[in-house]
Amino acid sequence: MLRRLAVKNFKSLLDVTVEFPRLAVFFGPNAAGKSNLLEAVQILSRIGTSRTLSDALSKPIRGYPVEAFTFPEGGLPAMLSQKTACFALEADLGIGKDRYSYRVGVAIQPQSGNLTVNDEYLTALSRRGEPKGNPSIERVENQLRVRRKSKPAHPRQEPLGLNHTLLSDQRFSGVDYRDIERSRAELERWRIHYLDPRVAMRSAKSPADVRDIGVLGEDIAPFLYRLRGEDEKRFAAVKRTLRSLIPSVEDLTVDLDERRGTLDIQVRQYGSDFSSRIISEGTLRVLALCAIGANPWGGSLVAFEEPENGVHPRRLELIARLLTSLA
């Protein structure tokens, strides 16, 4: 669970700190930074779990990597004239009864696009939110120190300026690196969605071993197909919730076209079956929320951008109740 996030010099967020309750709703005028805050959460998750920083800042993250850094006066041309630019993310994580603080600094050489880690820190926190014991990861001068539980007085030294975080490094796993492994696993469980019912959610998909509907909802068909095969009760819950939100829906099926090898979502309304290729965007969005709510492999953090888009105004209160139940 994400309890607090501090962001510095990431896109339009110069210096922002947010405390997160179990359910948080952000609203405001255009260009207020709502999307960038959501993307900062996504970036943190990817930085802590991806093989390289380049992978972490690639799609579905918007823009080029250099555009993730706050522009100076003069915009992109001024940025490209700089030797380096940096952003920093810091988060307090709740994992079971334990709390951790994780901080990472990322630097870029704008002209080459070279990305490096210029700071990293991970420590357990007390109930008061204060650092407890020796940090698992910390910067000391031009090196990063990684401590093992069995030999805390003899930390491992790693060079500063790597193209990946130590948190994402699978070498640091097991009993000796328990705090690192737990924090990495927590970030892996975060799910950020930018639902795209116009294209992505209508695209043909074959059966796949997926654990969620995908960032854009592109895997909703294989997800529902797997859910139906492995957990009929939860699939039935998706149908019940969908019918409660959209009373005209009579049934929901996901079938495999054996000739093409692709999956087809069918929604029955008014006595007729309609495929996901032609049902309304609002219906697809609501179906996605129902699927996320029934996900047995779901994440510890779920975030959406504008989940109400395309949904009939009369159903907004029901959507709000569904989102509240997820928290």
* pLDDT value for 131: 93
* pLDDT value for 154: 82
Asked if the domains 2-188 and 191-326 are classified in one and the same CATH topology, the answer is: yes
The residues, ordered by sequence, that sit 6+ positions from 233 with a Cβ below 8 Å of its Cβ are: none
Burial 294-319 (b: 16+ CB within 10 A, else e): bbeebbbbbbbeebbebbeeebeebb
* pLDDT value for 139: 97
* pLDDT value for 178: 96
* pLDDT value for 327: 72
CATH no. for 191-326: 3.40.50
List, edge to edge, every strand of the sheet that includes 143-146: 13-19, 2-10, 85-95, 98-109, 114-125, 131-140, 143-146, 156-159
CATH no. for 2-188: 3.40.50
Which positions of the chain have pLDDT values less than 70? none
* pLDDT value for 269: 94
Residue reference for tokens 């079956």? 273
* pLDDT value for 306: 83
pLDDT in tens, 173-197: 999 999 999 999 999 999 999 999 9
The residues, ordered by sequence, that sit 6+ positions from 230 with a Cβ below 8 Å of its Cβ are: none
CA 16, 94, 127, 146 dihedral sign is negative
* pLDDT value for 325: 83
* pLDDT value for 308: 76
Contact 136, 147 (CB under 8 A): yes
Name the residue ranges covered by the structural domains of the chain.
2-188, 191-326
